Amino acid sequence: MFVSRKLAAAGSLASLVLWAAPAAAQDFWSMSCPQLWYERNSIYHERGYCFQTERGIRTFGNAGCVTSNESALGLSSTERRTIALIVQVERQKYCK
């Protein structure tokens, strides 16, 4: 299995997950690609993201959305770290 330098430096995925989201630490490696996609986009949805893809709109809708600009969502540092971790796991799992 491919392990990035960042994960190797962190010592284990579990410690990196705890660093990303201490209140809701979870093992993203045990999630499927669709589950990772949903988890990541749920964060955006909760902050009012206006989805542009058919999949995003079908899954979350755009009622009450405020922007399609991710940087304007006001994500917390924990949310940004969690998203970055999910994206990293998605890449290593070759999710599309």
Q: pLDDT by residue (tens digit) across 58-88?
A: 999 999 999 999 999 999 999 999 999 999 9
**Contact call for residues 17 and 85 (beta carbons, < 8 A):** yes
Question: Are 83 and 40 spatial neighbours (Cβ–Cβ below 8 Å)?
Answer: yes
The pLDDT of residue 37 is above 50: yes
Residue for token digits 């969690």? Answer: 82
* pTM passes above 0.85: no
